[in-house]
Amino acid sequence: MKMNWVEKFLMNNPIRAAFHVHVEAPLLERLGGRTEGLRVLEVGCGRGVGTEQIFRRFGAASVFAMDIDEDMVARARTRLQGFPPDRLRVEVGDVTAIDAEDASFDAVFDFAIIHHVPDWQAAVAEIRRVLKPGGRFYFEEVTRHALDKWSYRFFMEHPTENRFTTAEFIREVERQGMIVGSDYTERGGGDFVFGVGRVAPAAG
Ligand SMILES: C[S@@+](CC[C@H](N)C(=O)[O-])C[C@H]1O[C@@H](n2cnc3c(N)ncnc32)[C@H](O)[C@@H]1O
């Protein structure tokens, strides 16, 4: 589900970008480490602030960044035009039908997008499908605790059914074969969850 104009305003401004750079990305790095020299997918890239962090802070070799909203993809392409095309691809796409082969990425980043997806369990399954053995799923998500608040309901548009708590999200990530264990943390009194799920390395 695309963002409405209120949420676009909240997302596409320098305060949100500063939070992204100085709070969210460092927290995910503490939980999951860097992705130096690795092949990374970012789902729901928005205007590309996270993609920049995946290159600069996490050290990825290449990023495939995608978003369901053509307007956000256009903004990301403009923002990221300094990165060479052999290291960056930015496309319109749906996290529940990722245009990539099985086991083709070392890491997947989700900066607050899965709570926009009606069938969020399908999104988690798709992310697991494209991760290689030993791959990592970095997530920052917005829980039902936040989405049930009048402010979210009044000003923004999200699916109203089938939302998740922190425990439900972690359980689904683990059910899909990514171990989270204690590598997650809540913020905002349970409104947000940050964490990393790891696929087991290949045997031998
Ligand atoms: C809250 S914004 C976050 C954007 C960006 N990751 C950030 O942190 O600034 C959620 C993003 O998810 C995108 N989105 C929603 N549903 C999606 C889907 N099914 N597949 C891919 N992207 C989706 C929206 O268009 C929007 O850009």
pLDDT at position 158, please?
Answer: 87
Average pLDDT, the chain: 95
Domain ranges of the chain: 5-199
pLDDT band, very low/low/confident/very high, at 153 (cuts 50, 70, 90): confident
> In whole angstroms, what is the distance from residue 71 CA to residue 68 CA?
9
pLDDT at position 157, please?
Answer: 85
CB of 99 closer than 8 Å to CB of 41: no
CB of 23 closer than 8 Å to CB of 89: no
C-alpha distances in Å from residue 35, one per residue of 29, 87, 109: 9, 14, 11
- Compute the average pLDDT of residues 122-133: 98
Q: What is the DSSP letter of 105?
A: E
Tell whether ligand 1 has an atom less than 6 A from the beta carbon of residue 54: no
Give the amino acid at 100.
A
pLDDT in tens, 58-117: 999 999 999 999 999 999 999 999 999 999 999 999 999 999 999 999 999 999 999 999
pLDDT at position 111, please?
Answer: 98
CB of 40 closer than 8 Å to CB of 60: yes
Residue nearest (by alpha carbon) to ligand 1 atom 9: 46
Q: Cα of 101 to ligand 1 centre, how many Å? A: 21
> In whole angstroms, what is the distance from residue 6 CA to residue 121 CA?
26
> In whole angstroms, what is the distance from residue 195 CA to residue 38 CA?
19
Q: Could you tell which of 67, 75, 157 is best to mutate to test the pocket of ligand 1, judged by most ligand atoms within 8 Å of the CB? A: 67
CB of 76 closer than 8 Å to CB of 90: yes
CATH 3.40.50.150 holds for 5-199: yes
pLDDT at position 9, please?
Answer: 81
pLDDT at position 57, please?
Answer: 98
